[in-house]
Structure 1
Amino acid sequence: MVRIGILSDTHYPDKTSYLPNLIFEKFQEENVELIIHAGDLTSPSVKEVLENVAPVVAVRGNLDEPIFPEERILEVEELKIGIIHGHQFLSLDTQTLKYKALDMEVDILIFGHTHRFFYEVYEFMGKKIALLNPGSPTVPRRSDPTFVIAEIKDRNLNFNIFKPWKTQWQYP
């Protein structure tokens, strides 16, 4: 079993002057072993601060310096995870994301850019594909601020969604 903190679109310090303490508290409390950031950190210092909690895998968002890769693929507990920001696409819709997951040959595609939480599992082209956007913990768009802590065990993903200004809820 592996616990992973997942977040995106922190936009510190370009659009916000803080990172919620709840992120660090929950990542430490839940003993996350890895943190995935799906882009728009907007400052390398965000990665450095998060690395005080656990190793960080980050991709480049449209407002990041070109020091992070455009996409990454990780294998955790035999589950292949693709990570992108999403700004690469003219239309960031589920059809485009499902094809990207197929192209990357991943089971889960984690993305950001919309600043809104999204999770759905699809049967697509004979394959089961999960799409996950953790939302933004600092500058949400038409939604609550969110981040995710996931647990991967036996090729299954379960997660809690945390809302820095509200209570948490669990999926599934």
Structure 2
Amino acid sequence: MKTAIISDTHGLLRPEALTCLQGCDLIIHAGDIGCPEILTQLTSIAPTHAVRGNNDLNLPWAANLPDYLTFEINSWQTLLTHDIADVPADLDSKIKLVITGHSHKPCIQWHGDCLYLNPGSAGRRRFKLPVTLALLDVSADTLTPQLVHLLDSPA
């Protein structure tokens, strides 16, 4: 199952990101979406899970978005929240995939048998951080993440 993970679009869904999302079975947005049209575009490509980020708070269109979600991807228990600071310290041992955004810093890290994935920011560049998203190949027994750089070089 090909899954795209995107975050921190802040109202900008780049053509390069749209190209990467084509053919995905599922899209996950880890918050700071920026405008409802982004979710409309994403759901026109594939089923989409999304949480609101700190910049989506107090926006009427985002009021019904959750702060965190738990769901399964191909039998992998997944926790999705915008800020890693909101991941419980006593994380349920059934959770094997934690997806966050917020920092704009991409990170793919295993903590024991749990994958922590931050796809970085796919929207406007922040400082000199890369503009990225992640693709995740999900099979019954493996998670294979890949970071995708959307722009060739830093600003």
- For Structure 1 versus Structure 2, the TM-score category normalised by the shorter chain is 0.7 to 0.9
Structure 2: segments with no counterpart, 5+ residues: 57-61
1:6 partner letter? I
After superposition, the CA RMSD in angstroms is: 2.0
Cα offset, 1:81, TM superposition: 0.9
Matched, 1:144 2:130: yes
Instruction: String of CA shifts for 1:34-90, please: whole Å, max 9, x gaps.
Output: 10000010211110011111111100111113220111111112111110001xx7x
Count of residue pairs the alignment pairs up: 147
Matched, 1:109 2:101: no
Instruction: String of CA shifts for 1:105-132, please: whole Å, max 9, x gaps.
Output: 4111100110110111112xxxx22211
**Equivalent in 36, 42, 45 of residue 28 of structure 2:** 36
Distance verdict in 2 for CA 1:140–1:97, change over 3 Å? farther
Aligned-partner SS, 1:52: helix
Matched, 1:57 2:54: no
Distance verdict in 2 for CA 1:49–1:120, change over 3 Å? same
1:27 partner letter? L
How much identity, in percent, do the aligned residues show?
28
For residues 13 and 93 of structure 2, what CA distance do their matches in structure 1 show? Answer: 31
**Equivalent in 76, 81, 89 of residue 79 of structure 1:** 76
For residues 121 and 47 of structure 1, what CA distance do their matches in structure 2 show? Answer: 29
For residues 111 and 118 of structure 2, what CA distance do their matches in structure 1 show? Answer: 15
On the 8 A contact 2:108/2:145 being kept in 1, the answer is no
For residues 155 and 72 of structure 1, what CA distance do their matches in structure 2 show? Answer: 22
On the 8 A contact 1:78/1:155 being kept in 2, the answer is no
What is the match of residue 99 of structure 1?
Answer: 89
TM-score by length of 1: 0.78
**Which consecutive segments of 4 or more residues in structure 1 shift more than 3 A?**
none
Aligned-partner SS, 2:103: coil
For residues 109 and 82 of structure 1, what CA distance do their matches in structure 2 show? Answer: 5
For residues 105 and 44 of structure 1, what CA distance do their matches in structure 2 show? Answer: 32
Structure 1: segments with no counterpart, 5+ residues: 13-17, 168-172
On the 8 A contact 2:81/2:87 being kept in 1, the answer is no
TM-score by length of 2: 0.85
